[in-house]
């Protein structure tokens, strides 16, 4: 199995073995970082980091991760690139490929990322689009693995918007044999094409994907509870409408009662406390939200190392 030179646009594109290799290397690199053991797997390499959406965790984790791997992350906002002035993505892809060893992009359109990957001759990493968020979802299952010891047969309950986050979580759960139950308002269901792909993968892995509109049904006997903001970046004008639609789609003390007593709570951040999650749940002993945030560093280091080096 060799991932070097490949792109990571969607978890659906990865084999089960490739997903496991990312989790295994993330565990190894996290242990080395905690022990202060140098792991310069990308010494002398450069990652071009294209940001057309604001970021806290993504920028810091990729930039620090490249430094810890012995390389350099180069921040490129839309103001820094000629994309912002009309240069075609295909031209940017071919130019950057002559300068850097990999490209990470955080943007709106998933089609833009696919075009970038098509024309680039170096690996492209999808760090978020409006359709998918694969690096975050791989981090999430890594975090669940740390706390639960295994993934196969476990149940993740996702409560909230059928957005890019749940799309990638369905892909990830299907690849590792973990069940996922998704509760959304009827008008905010996940993308039908993504659901079909994830369900096909789930059948192969022996896991189950359940869609419903009742948060308590989804949360029943769950090993992990997950939520995200009701209005993502670019949806701010819909905030008031969404507040009405998502009333009741919240991780709180009541919904935690129907999950397993040792269920963990996850959130990809930033959180709007009092909306999709209560402050009590966010700060409670079952919350692993900040361990989850830290793990972006370790999982993305594994992704970069596997795509950009000979390991």
The CATH number linked to 85 is: 3.40.50.1370
57 and 152 together in one domain: no
Quote the pLDDT of residue 84.
Answer: 60
Question: Quick check: is 146 in a domain?
Answer: yes
Cα angle value 95/96/101 (rounded, 5°):
135
Query: Residue 221, Cα to own-chain centre: how many angstroms?
Result: 24
Catalytic residue chosen out of the listed positions 59, 110, 133, 154: 133
Question: Quick check: is 68 in a domain?
Answer: yes
151 and 265 together in one domain: yes
> Average pLDDT of 28-57?
96
166 and 199 together in one domain: yes
Is residue 234 scored above 80 in pLDDT? Answer: no
Catalytic residue at 228?
yes
Is residue 1 scored above 80 in pLDDT? Answer: no
Is residue 17 scored above 80 in pLDDT? Answer: yes
Distances in whole angstroms, Cα of residue 238 to Cα of each of 53, 92, 275: 18, 33, 14
Quote the pLDDT of residue 78.
Answer: 79
Question: Quick check: is 4 in a domain?
Answer: no
> Average pLDDT of 163-174?
98
Catalytic residue at 24?
no
Catalytic residue at 135?
no
Catalytic residue chosen out of the listed positions 154, 228, 242, 250: 228
- Of all residues in the chain, the percent with pLDDT exceeding 90 is 91
40 and 173 together in one domain: no
146 and 287 together in one domain: yes
Say which residue the tokens 């993330």 belong to.
Answer: 26
Spatial separation of the C-alpha atoms in residues 42 and 35, rounded to whole Å = 19
| Number of structural domains found in the chain | 2
Beta strand 179-183 with 224-227 is unpaired
150 and 272 together in one domain: yes
199 and 215 together in one domain: yes
3-state secondary structure of 304: helix
Catalytic residue chosen out of the listed positions 179, 296, 298, 300: 296
Which domain, by its residues, includes 106? 11-132+295-308
175 and 214 together in one domain: yes
Is residue 85 scored above 70 in pLDDT? Answer: no
Quote the pLDDT of residue 240.
Answer: 86
Beta strand 155-159 with 179-183 is parallel
Is residue 235 scored above 80 in pLDDT? Answer: no
38 and 153 together in one domain: no
Phi/psi for 262 (5° steps) reads: -105, 20
Catalytic residue at 133?
yes
Is residue 29 scored above 70 in pLDDT? Answer: yes
Question: Quick check: is 88 in a domain?
Answer: yes
pTM: 0.96
Beta strand 46-51 with 155-159 is unpaired
Catalytic residue chosen out of the listed positions 12, 57, 106, 242: 106
89 versus 239: the higher-pLDDT residue is: 89
> Average pLDDT of 106-132?
97
Catalytic residue chosen out of the listed positions 250, 268, 298, 300: 268
> Average pLDDT of 70-98?
89
Catalytic residue chosen out of the listed positions 136, 250, 292, 300: 136
């Amino acid at each position: 199995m060799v991932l070097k030179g490949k792109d990571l646009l969607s978890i659906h594109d990865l084999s089960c073995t490739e997903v496991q290799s990312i989790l295994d290397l993330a565990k190894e690199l996290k242990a080395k970082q905690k022990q202060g053991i140098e792991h310069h797997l990308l010494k002398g390499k450069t990652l071009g980091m294209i940001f057309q959406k604001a970021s806290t965790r993504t920028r810091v984790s990729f930039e620090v991760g490249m430094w810890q791997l012995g390389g350099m992350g180069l921040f490129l906002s839309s103001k820094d690139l000629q994309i912002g002035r009309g240069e075609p993505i295909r031209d940017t892809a071919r130019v950057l490929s002559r300068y850097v060893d990999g490209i990470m992009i955080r943007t709106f359109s998933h089609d833009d990322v696919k075009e970038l990957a098509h024309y680039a001759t170096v690996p492209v990493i999808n760090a978020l689009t409006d359709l998918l968020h694969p690096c975050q979802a791989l981090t999430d299952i890594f975090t669940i693995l740390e706390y639960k010891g295994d993934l196969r047969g476990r149940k993740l309950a996702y409560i909230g918007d059928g957005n890019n986050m749940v799309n990638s979580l369905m892909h990830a759960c299907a690849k590792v044999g973990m069940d996922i139950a998704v509760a959304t308002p009827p008008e905010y269901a996940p993308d039908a094409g993504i659901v079909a792909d994830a369900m096909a993968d789930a059948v192969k892995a022996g896991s189950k994907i359940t869609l419903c509109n009742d948060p308590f049904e989804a949360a029943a006997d769950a090993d992990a509870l997950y939520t995200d903001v009701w209005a993502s970046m670019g949806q701010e004008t819909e905030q008031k409408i969404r507040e009405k639609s998502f009333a009741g789609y919240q991780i709180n003390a009541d919904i935690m009662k129907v999950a397993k007593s040792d269920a963990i709570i996850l959130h990809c951040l930033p959180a709007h406390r009092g909306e999709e999650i209560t402050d009590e749940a966010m700060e409670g002993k079952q919350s692993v939200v900040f361990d989850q945030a830290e793990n972006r560093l370790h999982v993305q280091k594994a992704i970069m190392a596997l795509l950009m080096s000979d390991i």
